[in-house]
Structure 1
Amino acid sequence: MIFEKVTDLIGNTPMLGIPVPAKNSMLLLKIEKNNPGGSMKDRMARNMIVEMLRTGRIKPGGIVVESSSGNTGIGLAIAAIEFGLQFIAVVDHHAAPDKVAVMRALGTDIRYVKGDYKEDEVAVVERQRLAAELAEQLPGAVFMNQSDNPANAGGYADFVQEVIAQTHGRVDAFVGCVGTGGSMTGIARGLKAHNAKTTSIAVEPAGSIIFGQPGHPYYQSGTGTPKGDTVGLVLDYSCIDKGVQVSDSQAFETARYIAKRTGLMVGGSTGGAIYKALEFIHSGVISGNVVSVVADGGEKYLHTVYNEDWLRERELLNPAVSANLKRWLN
């Protein structure tokens, strides 16, 4: 097929199966990095704009404002081009430089929050405050507020239908990252509507407060809710069977291991979801067809997750993680 616009390329992403022979299971990775913006957030970003236009909350030629660590921002930048809108992305020092560069290349107006933040501290609260302030000050501007926007979760309906078709209807478990809660809620709800017995496991970074654990800084980008922030209204805890945490070293070592074993480069948060999926398969908590998401690609993290010097300086190297992965997969 020949498509007419870039957003037509969103969705219909492939799936890669990684066998776990000892447990008679298959880890199925939905390759969302194949979306035009390089992440699963393309789906929800376009859906949020479509809903804003449908309800009249934003007019043609208006301004979209959003707080983002990068992937949602890239998705919004692409959708803004489609609908003739301006886009302002509010970011902090935690955003990967390559993601910011992509947004700039797409014509995005980048605004950095001010303040003295640690390297592993995510300034989500200040990002959201500034984004809301800009939307109030600028004529024709709207704050997307993805954390509380129902269209966030609604953007994953096609994802669910694709997974059901690709697995011939058999999804025994879903293991995904949880940040704003949009993808986790939308996907878990949809899969449970198809089969109520599907187990859903949500993975947050160690240091995130989503499941009531003490908050502290973490390096994983685009996932979790940091200390001082509030969990988004879009997150529906009732569709989550188990909420767990993964450390930065577990997430990043897994991403690097998967790249060397399969040739597929995944982002750091995806590494965390894969690690917990394999851990729970190995322990017998889940089995059969276990679906997870390659939320974005490792190409965006060459200077961090895939840089051994960067990891060593931050004491994030942990050979025990690779040893576990080798044991679980062999």
Structure 2
Amino acid sequence: MVKRLNMTRSAVLIFNPVAGQNDPDQDLAQIREILEPDIDLEILLTTPEVDAGTLAGEALARGVETVIVSGGDGTISAAAAALVGTNIPLGVISRGTANAFAAALGIPNTIQAACETILGGVTQTIDAAYCNGKPMVLLAGVGFEAETVEKADREAKNRFGMLAYILAGVQQLREFERFEAEIETEDKIITVTAAAVTVANIAPPTSILAQGPAGLVVDDGFLDVTVVAPINVAGAIAASYHLLQSALAGNAAERDDIGYLRTRKVKISTEPPQKVVLDGELIGTTPIEVECVPGGLTLIVPLVEEAQPSEKLSGLSGLKIESKAPSESEEV
């Protein structure tokens, strides 16, 4: 559900000073320059000891009415997770490497445009989820994706940006391994030999291992599970490329080694145990249980005017158009 935002005159800004590749002092100064004429900002900085989720939780306890978060996907997801089920609007200013959260929701990824969205946008209620009791906004990845995220460390991301994930993925392909997975939903139990299983709430096209279905709907009350099950490295490369191409085109995957399903909750067990990444952060190993929280998160998103249907009548056989005088009820 989308509605106009009644922006409060004050908000908490949670800012990660080590996110991205730009000068954080300049980034913060730019944010303040744009927002502070209209919003009284309380600025909180994350530290290695205190993450965005903790800061957002403390702000909620103080009765904050709006939270704004600026950083990478990990920072944004942590703050968002703290707001699940609260109806407190969250504004997003992405400054990370992948910026998957913003991309998935159509939120601009420049500071200027993101701040303008916060000042003039609308709120949208989307689904969230819980994975092993931890709030989930984007997705949980089992297997290949988790291994790739682990290899793309902070130093590599600072040096190479988005290329760090690509390099990590190439490196992980050299160590390609499959595993036995049991996927239990509300109405079935599936066993399969896979290389990756992804449970997505929302995900941009670049999160290719989540892109089995034709499109991930952010407020449908369902999770989308994608299973990638190639038999060798060549198949893994081909499957990944197909997922990217089909996602960019808005089509569902059509390879025999890619499967997908929709469910409100799912349990995934593997043999041997596999690493799990939750919203970009490693959280341990399988098994996992994920359950959707319909309408669990409120976001500030850009105002998109609905397109008015156009009219086309020319070329119709026997076409005749006459002007009609307005009726008395239509006259002003």
Specify the TM-score bucket, using the shorter chain as the normaliser. under 0.3
Identify, as 1 or 2, the structure richer in helix.
Answer: 1
TM-score by length of 2: 0.26
Would you tell me which structure has more strand in proportion to its own residues?
A: 2
Q: TM-score, normalised by structure 1?
A: 0.26
